[in-house]
């Protein structure tokens, strides 16, 4: 092996991985860092990687691409894993890998590496994405096999190598954060009976601390893409940031769940995704107004499959893409406004309007404006119920 591109986060594991990979594979190590909406000090990351012995450092700000080509498409489909998780971590991995593979190709590397453990979903996502995008690249996952069993071991190793690197501390939880959402696990959360401690609240207020007065936001969509909040035109990234702040303040967008990981383990996770929660509720309401019944019904079923595919690391699969295309077939009609009331952890839709609305007041009304043909209902019901009339008339002796 000549060169390895390591997905570098700046944490202790991936910092330790730099000298470890160099020692164990006798290869050059390129530290590759991706930003997804977090305010990282890039210079500091670069210095840290260089201090640890990285031969090269590559940095990519993927925030915009993440929201536009990953988060919003999943939003248009309506993807929710196990009815609860809006997939922030899972959506980020394929994009991180996409650029990791590009860096590998540009720098003539023959392998990519990540710092995931053997117990999680992220290792699956990293490796499946990399093998789909460039099957020739070797996938390395040293944390699954290396000799260290604690942070102290890793610090000791760095010391032995003569590398003085500050331990930024591991924190009480394992946290993965991007602009679309935050995942919190481990620590006190490992006992599913323990209520999430106050310090697991990161951008969402606990309900008790949320304002006592409700706040309304109007979200405007154009062809399935959210474009305005309260009449103000915003870039996708700014729109998400804004909704994160407003909805987070009202305690909106937190879930606490026990989920099924790809590797068979059940794990207890807390997620925060205030903007995503508002946008999901809003687009679902808009959909109800403008799309026809059969399409909605089937879209919901496929959205479940789509969420599972994304969760399981199959973003770059033909089925994921096909479901995306299916959902996007009608996205041009997802144009309109949704009013959402934010109050004590809730994001309640209180109104929808659209130029493509299928809601016809003269059909729905119970007043004298009614144009619906009541008479037609009789024949319709006779035929609709016919199979059951026959079923009910057959003698059943069992």
Q: Which residues are catalytic?
A: 13, 93, 122, 174
**Least spacing, CB of residue 84 vs ligand ARG, in Å:** 11
Q: Which of residues 102-121 bind ligand ARG (CB under 6 A)?
A: 121
Quick one: which of 27, 90, 204, 327 contacts ligand ARG (CB under 6 A)? 90
Nearer of residues 140 and 143 to ligand ARG, judged by Cβ: 143
Q: What are phi and psi of 71, to 5 degrees?
A: -70, -50
Closest CA to 315 of 24, 101, 37, 3: 101
Quick one: which of 24, 51, 107, 174 contacts ligand ARG (CB under 6 A)? 174
**Least spacing, CB of residue 275 vs ligand ARG, in Å:** 17
- Write out the two tokens for 11: 């944490």
Q: Which of residues 345-374 bind ligand ARG (CB under 6 A)?
A: none
Residue 36, interface with ligand ARG (CB under 6 A)? no
Quick one: which of 28, 127, 154, 185 contacts ligand ARG (CB under 6 A)? 185
Nearer of residues 89 and 205 to ligand ARG, judged by Cβ: 89
Residue 28, interface with ligand ARG (CB under 6 A)? no
Nearer of residues 90 and 239 to ligand ARG, judged by Cβ: 90
- Write out the two tokens for 92: 């980020």
Give the C-alpha separation, 179 to 133, whole Å. 25
Quick one: which of 15, 89, 178, 335 contacts ligand ARG (CB under 6 A)? 89
> Does residue 219 contact residue 226 with C-beta atoms inside 8 Å?
yes
Q: How many CB atoms lie within 10 A of CB 259?
A: 18
The interface region with ligand ARG, picked from 23-31, 42-50, 172-180, 325-333 by CB under 6 A, is 172-180
Helix residue ranges, H only, the chain: 12-25, 42-51, 63-66, 72-77, 88-107, 122-133, 151-160, 236-249, 274-290, 293-311, 318-328, 361-364, 374-384, 386-393
Site track for ligand ARG across 121-140, x = CB under 6 A: xx------------------
Nearer of residues 249 and 308 to ligand ARG, judged by Cβ: 308
Q: What is the DSSP letter of 311?
A: H
Q: What are phi and psi of 131, to 5 degrees?
A: -70, -25
- Write out the two tokens for 63: 């925030």
Closest CA to 269 of 202, 190, 206: 190
Residue 260, interface with ligand ARG (CB under 6 A)? no
Q: Which of residues 263-292 bind ligand ARG (CB under 6 A)?
A: 269
- Residue 50, sorted as left (phi over 0), alpha (psi -120 to 50) or beta, turns out to be alpha
Residue 13, interface with ligand ARG (CB under 6 A)? no
Give the C-alpha separation, 398 to 384, whole Å. 27
**Least spacing, CB of residue 125 vs ligand ARG, in Å:** 8
Residue 312, interface with ligand ARG (CB under 6 A)? no
Q: What is the DSSP letter of 78?
A: T
Q: Please give the helix or strand (H or E) that residue 215 lies within, else none.
A: strand 215-222
**Least spacing, CB of residue 29 vs ligand ARG, in Å:** 21
Helix (H, G, I), strand (E, B) or coil at 351: strand
**Least spacing, CB of residue 264 vs ligand ARG, in Å:** 13
Name the strands in the sheet holding 232-233, side by side, starting at the edge strand that comes first in the sequence. 232-233, 225-229, 215-222, 336-343, 346-353
Quick one: which of 15, 63, 178, 183 contacts ligand ARG (CB under 6 A)? 183
Helix (H, G, I), strand (E, B) or coil at 102: helix
**Least spacing, CB of residue 66 vs ligand ARG, in Å:** 14
Count of chain residues binding ligand ARG (CB under 6 A): 10
Instruction: Determine how β-strand 336-343 pairs with β-strand 346-353.
Output: antiparallel
Residue 74, interface with ligand ARG (CB under 6 A)? no
Nearer of residues 120 and 248 to ligand ARG, judged by Cβ: 120
Q: Which residues bind ligand ARG (CB under 6 A)?
A: 89-90, 121-122, 174-176, 183, 185, 269
């Amino acid at each position: 092996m000549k060169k390895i591109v390591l997905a570098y986060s700046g944490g202790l594991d991936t910092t330790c991985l730099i000298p470890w990979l160099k020692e164990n594979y006798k290869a050059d190590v390129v530290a590759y860092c991706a930003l997804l909406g977090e305010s990282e000090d890039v210079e500091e990351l670069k210095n840290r990687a260089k201090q640890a012995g990285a031969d090269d450092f590559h940095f990519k700000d993927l925030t915009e691409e993440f929201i536009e080509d990953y988060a919003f498409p999943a939003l248009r489909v309506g993807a929710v894993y196990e009815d609860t998780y809006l997939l922030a971590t899972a959506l980020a991995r394929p994009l991180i890998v996409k650029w990791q593979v590009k860096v590998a190709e540009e720098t003539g590397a023959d392998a990519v590496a990540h710092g995931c453990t053997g117990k999680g979903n992220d290792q699956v996502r990293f490796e499946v994405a990399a093998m789909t995008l460039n099957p020739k690249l070797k996938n390395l996952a040293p944390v699954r096999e290396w000799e260290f069993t604690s942070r102290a071991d890793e610090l000791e190793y760095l010391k032995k190598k003569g590398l003085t690197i500050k331990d930024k501390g591991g924190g009480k939880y394992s946290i993965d954060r991007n602009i679309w959402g935050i995942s919190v696990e481990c620590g006190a959360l490992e006992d599913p009976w323990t209520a999430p401690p106050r310090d697991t609240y990161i951008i969402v207020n606990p309900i008790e601390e949320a304002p006592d007065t409700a706040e309304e936001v109007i979200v405007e969509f154009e062809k399935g893409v959210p474009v305005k909040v309260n009449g103000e035109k915003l870039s996708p990234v700014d729109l998400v940031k804004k909704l994160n702040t407003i909805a987070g303040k009202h305690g909106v967008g937190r879930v606490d769940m026990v989920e099924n990981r790809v590797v068979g383990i059940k794990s207890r996770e807390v997620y925060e995704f205030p903007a995503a929660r508002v946008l999901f509720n809003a687009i679902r309401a808009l959909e109800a107004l403008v799309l026809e019944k059969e399409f909605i019904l089937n879209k919901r079923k496929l959205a479940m499959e789509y969420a599972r595919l994304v969760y399981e690391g199959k973003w770059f699969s033909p089925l994921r893409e096909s479901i995306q295309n299916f959902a996007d077939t009608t996205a041009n009609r997802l144009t309109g406004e949704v009013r959402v009331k934010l109050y004590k952890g809730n994001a309640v839709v209180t109104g929808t309007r659209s130029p493509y609305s299928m809601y016809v007041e003269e059909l729905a009304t119970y007043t004298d404006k009614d144009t619906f043909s009541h008479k037609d209902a009789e024949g319709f019901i006779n035929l609709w119920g016919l199979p059951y009339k026959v079923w009910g008339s057959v003698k059943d002796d069992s």
